[in-house]
């Protein structure tokens, strides 16, 4: 009986997600080689091949048994060419869908996954018509390269269409109606090479200025049927794409409990970082288990947990560590406005205790916005 | 508010304990430099300075802010000289005591920590006398360099004294009476730079042929007063040595519940590996918090947990990962008889369930001995 695990895992991208994948994978016996094309890797672990000019891809592929990535905005043609040499999980097909809003929404539609009302437009005139039909405000987004709020504009009136069209500067846009949502939530699920699927409990996410600040899971007020509906949506996506690895699906929950899919990401996701201390198996370990063809680990939540992002500037880390059952995850990055530097996972016995502790944590972080959970009044 | 943590931590030794310290320290933002004097490092992480001829100590010290170690059999003079340049935790004094059985037992005596009856002998004749006085069988151990059962002999009769004396070949031995113990237990505790102390729940350890095979904690049948007694013993040691970091104390528990100290180790310890998945804060993270002057994390157990050592040959890792709430920690070492290659942490809701799961785990590991817990009949 020899070990079946002997993988050197290749990761495209060398930021904090790659770093946390590696930290989860060393205990499995994995080794890691990162391919960094930015010239500015931060993983701080494993072997990093810095390759801004795409000169070292063959070296990278020689070293690794399987390839995954921490960033889906990779050229699809590049990923397809890698697939000719080494297994890539999730596949180039997943990347292709996730980096194109029209493909993504078309897939949601085809699988019966509700979304906010939307239109695809290819001119300023079509944008204006769409804004009238959907009812302002609407948000217009470039079809591709729409990472982290770039290439987007909000139209408060249809007459802003021309200005928005010019400012975004793309030939095709998706225009979305605003949703009167109660909360933003996300699903993290994982699918193995054999088709086994496991779902984490749904998390509630609080964004400020388009950046995730807090994720809390599990949700104390979540109807089991809503979780099951979300499980069904993400399972449909996973199975349709013959997906291997962790997939994240962001949704809006409306006042009547309905879920509307916003977007998905074919990778470990910031809204799943709570699983590092709040679930039996973290999203990082499960992603690695999946891409290596190993059995998936339990996705059960251990206790109410909140992930607190540390953005731009770090706080008083010693004071954070003095809070009970509070876990620091630093990314070894220098401070810079808007940069994700670390996160803190706060674990508690009850959601009421958790809220108190997260507020104590917030007080020790500069610029951390007030915590606001949809279910606060029920605690 | 800038982070107070910016340490590059130097670790003397580059085996699995150093590896697991590093894996616990990256999330705190630490970086690691290992000094390996064996020529055969296995940590597989961080920067490793291979220095079998003691040529690179200055390089090592230049790179690090604080020094700790995974192995206490270091020359005391070397550690003292390092202390002239960089803080070393635990101190050379702790190393000095822990690598000398007479110093160790003298300290136990002085602090009122009971031990098995013992004698210090300096000739074969004295050894024979000691064997008669203590009553055979007795175990004779060299005073120094007695790592992992080397330099030891069991005397079934006083007449074996001469043979034992020659086979051990040291000028001073400690002779210990055998203890009719119910179980072997260990205490893991941690003391911060400010004197704060935290105790993990006591673990029961099962050794076979002198090698640890299983550790289980917390213990369902442990009287709170026994835990308090053990806390008091280890606190006395920590305070007396002005100790910083994790200290392990191995004890015997006798039929009447009494604890007798066997030996201690000034480092993270194999019998504390269960804390990686079974406690709020692992022994590795708490050691790093201590040596950096950070607040200690909670040592509370989350759930009944058993650490299963993987020795000599690995098992069916995929099958192990298929067991629920079972966590693999591989050391990235090649197989060799008697070598610690990995451990598996099994977590369960109850001790009865835990026993079943540990037996399932054992069945997937070659050469794993039968599991035997002192409290099995009470489950």
SS (H, E, C) B348-370: CCCHHHHHHHHHHHHHCCCCCCC
Counting residues of chain B whose pLDDT is more than 90, the rounded percentage is 91
The answer to whether A308 and A343 are in contact (CB under 8 A) is: yes
pLDDT the model gives residue B6: 63
How confident is the model over A92-109, as a mean pLDDT?
Answer: 96
Interface test with A, best of B5, B295, B307 (most A CBs within 10 A): B295
User: Of the ranges A146-155, A370-379, B37-46, B233-242, which is most confident?
Assistant: B233-242
Same domain for A255 and A356, yes or no, is yes
| pLDDT attached to residue B5 | 63
Question: Does some domain include residue B44?
Answer: yes
CA distance linking residue A192 with residue A176, whole number of Å: 33
Mean residue pLDDT of chain A comes to 95
Same domain, B201 and B152: no
Q: What single-letter DSSP state applies at residue A202?
A: P
What pLDDT is attached to residue A150? 63
- Positive or negative: CA dihedral A103, A104, A107, A113: negative
Going by pLDDT thresholds of 50, 70 and 90, the confidence category of residue B3 is very low
Residues B216 and B162 both lie in one domain: no
B193-238 confidence digits (pLDDT tens): 999 999 999 999 999 988 999 999 999 999 999 999 999 999 999 9
Residues A172, A203: one domain?
no
Whether A204 has a pLDDT exceeding 60, the answer reads yes
Out of A31, A298, A317, the one facing B5 most closely (by C-beta) is: A317
User: What are the pLDDT digits (tens) for B37-88?
Assistant: 999 999 999 999 999 988 999 999 999 999 999 998 899 999 999 999 999 9
Query: pLDDT tens digits for A128-147?
Result: 999 999 999 999 999 987 54
A297 and A265 together in one domain: yes
- Greater confidence (B54 vs A48) lies with A48
ipTM, two decimals, is 0.95
Q: Is the pLDDT of residue A6 over 90?
A: no
Using a CB–CB cut-off of 8 Å, the residues of A that contact B are 1-5, 19, 23, 26-29, 31, 44-45, 280, 289, 294-295, 297-298, 302, 313-318, 321-322, 324-325, 327-330, 332, 342, 347, 364, 366
The CATH number given to whatever domain includes residue A313 is: 3.30.470.20
> B152 with B189, same domain?
no
Range A153-168 average pLDDT = 94
- Give residue A2's pLDDT band: very low, low, confident or very high (50, 70, 90): very low
Domain residue limits at B250: 181-378
Residues A147 and A293 in one domain: no
Measure in Å the smallest separation between the Cα of A72 and chain B Cα atoms: 24
Please check whether residues B62 and B188 belong to one and the same domain: no
B106 is a domain residue: no
Q: Residue A151's pLDDT band (boundaries 50, 70, 90)?
A: confident
Say if B271 falls within a structural domain: yes
* Structure confidence at residue A1 as a pLDDT band (50, 70, 90): very low
- What pLDDT shows up at residue B216? 98
Question: Do B233 and B368 belong together in one domain?
Answer: yes
Q: Is residue A98 part of a domain?
A: no
List Cβ neighbours of A157 (8 Å cut-off, separation of 6 or more): A131, A136
Nearest Cα residue in chain A from B312: A2
Q: Do A1 and B298 touch (CB under 8 A)?
A: no
Of B149, B177, B205, the residue at which a domain comes to its end is B177
User: How many domains does chain B fold into?
Assistant: 3
- Give per-residue pLDDT as tens, B168-178: 999 999 999 99
Determine, yes or no, domain membership for A2.
no
- Residue A89 to chain B, least CA–CA distance (Å): 19
Last residue of a domain, one of B67, B88, B109: B88
Backbone angles phi, psi at A264, to 5 degrees: -130, 160
pLDDT category at B1 given cuts 50, 70, 90 is very low
- What pLDDT, on a 0 to 100 scale, did the predictor assign at position B144? 87
Is residue A243 domain-shared with residue A287, that is, in the same domain? yes
Q: Which residues of A touch B332 (CB under 8 A)?
A: 26, 29, 31
Q: Chain A partners of B29 at a C-beta cutoff of 8 Å?
A: 317, 328, 330, 332, 342
Residue B104 domain-assigned? no
Average pLDDT in the B271-292 region?
98
Whole-number pLDDT of residue A4 = 53
pLDDT value of residue B92: 96
B318 burial type by CB count under 10 A (0-12 exposed, 13-18 middle, 19+ buried):
middle
State pLDDT tens for residues B151-162: 899 999 999 999
Residue B100 inside a domain? The answer is no
CATH code of residue A16: 3.40.50.20
Q: Which pLDDT does position A210 carry in this prediction?
A: 87
Instruction: Pick the closest to residue A203 from A271, A267, A105, A300 (CA basis).
Output: A271
Residues B283 and B347 in one domain: yes
pLDDT at B299 over 70: yes
Of A249-263, B1-15, B323-337, give the lowest mean pLDDT range: B1-15
Q: Which helix (H) or strand (E) holds B47?
A: strand B47-50
pLDDT tens for residues B346-368? 999 999 999 999 999 999 999 89
B300 in the same domain as B256: yes
Q: Is residue A29 part of a domain?
A: yes
What is the CATH classification number for the domain harbouring B172?
3.30.1490.20
Beta-bridge partners for B119: B175
């Amino acid at each position: 009986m020899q070990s079946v695990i002997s993988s050197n895992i290749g990761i495209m991208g060398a930021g904090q997600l790659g770093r946390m994948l590696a930290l989860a994978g060393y205990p499995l016996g994995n080794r890691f080689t990162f391919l960094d094309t930015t010239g500015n890797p931060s993983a701080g672990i494993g072997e990093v091949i810095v390759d801004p000019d795409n000169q070292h891809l063959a070296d990278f592929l020689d070293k690794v048994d399987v390839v995954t990535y921490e960033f889906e905005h990779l050229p699809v043609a590049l990923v397809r060419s890698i697939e000719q040499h080494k297994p890539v999980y999730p596949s180039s097909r997943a990347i292709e869908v996730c980096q194109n809003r029209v493909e993504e929404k078309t897939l949601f539609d085809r699988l019966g996954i509700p979304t906010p009302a939307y239109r695809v437009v290819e001119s300023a005139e079509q944008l204006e018509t769409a804004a009238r039909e959907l009812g302002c405000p609407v948000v217009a987004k470039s079809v591709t390269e729409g990472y982290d709020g770039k290439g987007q504009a909000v139209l408060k009136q249809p007459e802003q269409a021309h200005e928005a069209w010019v400012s975004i500067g793309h030939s095709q846009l998706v225009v979305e109606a605003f949703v009167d949502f109660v909360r933003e939530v996300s699903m993290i699920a994982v699918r193995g090479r054999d088709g086994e699927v496991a779902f984490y409990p749904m998390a509630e996410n609080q964004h400020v200025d388009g950046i995730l600040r807090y994720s809390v899971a599990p949700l104390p007020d979540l109807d089991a049927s809503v979780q099951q509906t979300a499980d069904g949506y993400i399972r449909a996506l996973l199975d349709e794409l013959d997906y291997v690895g962790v997939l994240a699906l962001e949704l809006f929950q409306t006042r009547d409990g309905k879920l509307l899919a916003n977007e998905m990401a074919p990778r470990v996701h910031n809204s799943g970082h709570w699983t590092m201390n709040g679930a039996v198996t973290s999203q990082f370990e499960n992603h690695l288990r999946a891409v290596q063809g190993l059995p998936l680990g339990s996705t059960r939540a251990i206790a109410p947990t909140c992930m607190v992002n540390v953005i731009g500037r770090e706080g008083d880390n010693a004071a954070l560590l003095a809070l009970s059952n509070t876990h620091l995850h630093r990314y070894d990055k220098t401070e810079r406005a808007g940069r994700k530097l670390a996160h803190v996972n706060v674990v508690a016995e009850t959601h009421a205790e958790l809220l108190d502790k997260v507020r104590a944590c917030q007080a020790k972080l500069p610029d951390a916005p007030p915590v606001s959970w949809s279910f606060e009044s029920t605690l």
